[in-house]
Structure 1
């Protein structure tokens, strides 16, 4: 298992219940693909974006977003499946999954 960090930009206009359900769903997807969530946090509740973002299939534009950070351990072969799931979520404006390098290794 490798260590990963995922950053999500979520629609800022979601209700609190919708945000909670979305964050729970993001973590559940990690466990569905045999991963383990080690930490998660809201990095910024509302942050101005450098440029407007359009959601999947939507015509609204967003100038702000909620940043949500998740650290998890997962099999590298499952990352493509996670990317597919997260990319189809209409409430996620953008996301990025990066591998965390262990100190002392290259």
Structure 2
């Protein structure tokens, strides 16, 4: 049974915009290699960190929404750890929104 995950990836600020697009494509390929399906990719651009991390104060943020087998999450994390272009990453399980709609006057 697949689940929906949100992946946040940070690339170094020293990278050029064209290089970031290639890095995003590599991340998408890594997700595909573990049989994941990407539903959405959003480049959030260059953002400042709340505090310096490893001597850096900003990075390129990219958010991906994908479906993936829970057993493959560790394999994907391993692939991301081996990718030297990724500064930081976070994979979280997306919960379905529990929204109640109230109708009437």
Establish whether TM, by shorter chain, passes 0.5: yes
Tell me the equivalent position of 1:30: 31
Instruction: List gaps (5 residues or longer) in structure 1.
Output: 55-60
Aligned runs of 1:73-88 on 2, under 5 Å?
73-88=67-82
Deviations 1:15-56 (A, max 9, x none): 23321111001011111111100000112x2211112222xx
1:99 to 75, 93, 98: 93
Aligned residues: CA RMSD: 1.2
Instruction: List gaps (5 residues or longer) in structure 2.
Output: 99-105
Q: Tell me, what secondary structure is at the counterpart of 2:97?
A: coil
2:83 to 68, 72, 89: 89
Q: Which has the larger radius of gyration?
A: 2
Equivalenced residue count is 97
Runs of 4+ more than 4 Å apart = none
Does the aligned pair in 2 maintain the 1:7–1:69 contact within 8 Å?
Answer: yes
Confirm whether residue 2 of structure 1 aligns to residue 3 of structure 2.
yes
- The Cα shift of 1:103 comes to 3.3
